[in-house]
């Protein structure tokens, strides 16, 4: 018997969520962000399901190459650009766009010859991670414009630091800083395409939409904001993580459950054992009380999560049996809720499902 633990990936939900992004930013092109195995969902399947996107964004060269080898022909953007001159031939060969965020990259391009490469000049408007400070924006723009190895026109971008918080005005400030960085009018009419918005920008800051938006987490059905769930924006969860009960046992009042005996039965009660653990990517830090669905009904995990198993309070599912289905997150149980019970964010949980879990792709078109 093979283990029932699996991640069911609903490809129709991908398409639906992309539509939501299009409706929110109807005048922008959609650069679907599918880095890190499409946030743990399977990058090639995601790219195929999202074939109505205008392009794809990935973090590293290996991801971009895997997409091209799988026959994906849309524009692909390397969000961190390249690290060395040796990468340029691969970038040309695979027809990749590069984000240029550091002077070391500009210097490499200034030395380069050959077919011009499409580039996105990245300005750091307050995130303070990648990008040129606003006072260098014009200089870098001019330097790239002078490079024969760079395709014209350039494209311009920035990234938001606090857009997940609708009450934080940093985002408005970042939008303003971005457009003021250039001594031409990048916002209206210049022939440079601009891209500012991640999912939170798309849903929360219409002023950030510009020519290209970069939806990530929302494509997976998850809210980009610190509170609420994807459902608030009519998003549908793409991944449902599920497993089965492999044991149901009765314990007495006072019995301690699992490693460290951290949870004590308050009365005589049934405890279910679910075949999933941190070895599968279920978070070890999920606290007692974290919800799961047993046969579609909400129950709570109790005691510590172990590598291969989780224990569940079955008092509101007294008839549950070995073999019954348990949903850890996804349909009927927002991953956002599990993340907050585990002291993390949904992004991390989705990215963290390990390859011991079987992935099943449904609703292929």
Ligand X SMILES: *Cc1c(COP(=O)(O)O)cnc(C)c1O
Per-residue exposure over 337-365, b if at least 16 CB sit within 10 Å of its own CB, e if not? ebbbbbeebbbebbbebeeebebebeeee
For residue 219, CA distances in Å to 6, 47, 177, 321 come to 20, 11, 28, 35
- The whole-angstrom separation of Cα 276 and Cα 292 is 12
Residue 41 or 214 having the CB closest to ligand X: 214
CB of 57 to ligand X, least distance (A): 6
Q: Work out which of 198, 208, 223, 242 binds ligand X, going by CB under 6 A.
A: 198
Q: Reply yes or no on whether 259 is catalytic.
A: yes
Q: Reply yes or no on whether 35 is catalytic.
A: yes
- The whole-angstrom separation of Cα 224 and Cα 229 is 8
Residue 166 or 270 having the CB closest to ligand X: 166
Query: What is the token pair recorded at 206?
Result: 């219409």
Q: Work out which of 9, 18, 20, 33 binds ligand X, going by CB under 6 A.
A: 33
For residue 86, CA distances in Å to 68, 151, 342 come to 19, 19, 42
**Which H/E stretch holds residue 63?**
helix 61-69
Name which of 197, 120, 111, 182 is nearest 152 in CA terms.
120
Residue 233 or 263 having the CB closest to ligand X: 233
Direct distance between the N- and C-terminal alpha carbons of the chain, in angstroms, rounded to an integer: 30
Q: Which stretch binds ligand X (CB under 6 A): 181-189, 211-219, 244-252, 293-301?
A: 211-219
Which residue has the closest beta carbon to ligand X? 216
Contact mark string toward ligand X, 62..101, x via CB under 6 A: -----------------x----------------------
Q: Work out which of 28, 48, 171, 199 binds ligand X, going by CB under 6 A.
A: 199
- The whole-angstrom separation of Cα 58 and Cα 60 is 6
Angle at CA of residue 28, ends 215 and 164, nearest 5°: 35
Q: Which stretch binds ligand X (CB under 6 A): 18-26, 214-222, 282-290, 356-364?
A: 214-222
CB of 79 to ligand X, least distance (A): 5
- The whole-angstrom separation of Cα 24 and Cα 219 is 13
Q: Work out which of 216, 221, 291, 334 binds ligand X, going by CB under 6 A.
A: 216
Contact mark string toward ligand X, 144..183, x via CB under 6 A: ---------------x------------------------
- For position 339 contacting ligand X by CB under 6 A, the verdict is no
The site for ligand X (CB under 6 A) is made up of: 33, 35, 79, 159, 198-199, 214-217, 224
Catalytic residues: 35, 259
């Amino acid at each position: 018997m093979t283990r029932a633990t699996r991640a069911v990936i609903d490809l129709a939900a991908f398409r639906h969520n992309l539509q939501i992004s299009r409706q929110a930013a109807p005048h922008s092109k959609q650069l679907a962000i599918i880095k890190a195995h499409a946030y743990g969902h399977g990058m090639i399947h995601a790219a195929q399901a999202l074939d109505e996107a205008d392009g794809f964004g990935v973090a590293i060269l290996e991801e971009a190459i895997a997409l091209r080898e799988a026959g994906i022909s849309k524009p692909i953007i390397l969000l961190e650009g390249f690290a060395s001159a040796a990468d340029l031939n691969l970038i040309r060969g695979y027809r990749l766009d590069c984000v240029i965020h550091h002077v070391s990259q500009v210097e490499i391009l200034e030395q380069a010859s050959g077919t011009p490469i499409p580039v996105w000049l990245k300005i750091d408007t307050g995130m303070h991670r990648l990008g040129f400070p606003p006072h260098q924006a014009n200089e870098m723009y001019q330097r790239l414009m002078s490079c024969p190895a760079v395709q014209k026109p350039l494209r311009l971008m920035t990234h938001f630091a606090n857009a997940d918080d609708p009450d934080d005005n940093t985002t408005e400030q970042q939008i303003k800083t971005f457009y003021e960085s250039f001594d031409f009018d990048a916002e209206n009419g210049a022939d440079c395409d601009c891209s500012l918005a991640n999912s939170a920008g798309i849903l929360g800051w219409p002023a950030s939409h510009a020519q290209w938006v970069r939806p990530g987490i929302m494509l997976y059905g998850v809210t980009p904001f610190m509170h609420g769930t994807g459902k608030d924006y009519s998003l549908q969860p793409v991944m449902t993580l599920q497993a089965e009960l492999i044991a149901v046992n009765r314990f007495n009042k006072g019995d301690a459950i699992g490693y460290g005996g951290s949870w004590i039965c308050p009365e005589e009660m049934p405890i279910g054992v679910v075949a999933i653990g941190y070895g599968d990517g279920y978070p070890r830090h999920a606290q007692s009380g974290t919800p799961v669905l047993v046969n579609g009904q909400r129950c709570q995990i109790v005691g510590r999560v172990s590598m291969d198993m989780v224990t569940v309070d079955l008092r509101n599912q007294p008839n549950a049996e070995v073999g019954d289905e348990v949903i850890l997150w996804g349909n009927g149980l927002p991953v956002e809720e599990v993340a907050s019970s585990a002291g993390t964010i949904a992004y991390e949980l989705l990215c963290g499902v390990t390859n011991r879990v079987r992935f099943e792709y449904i609703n292929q078109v």
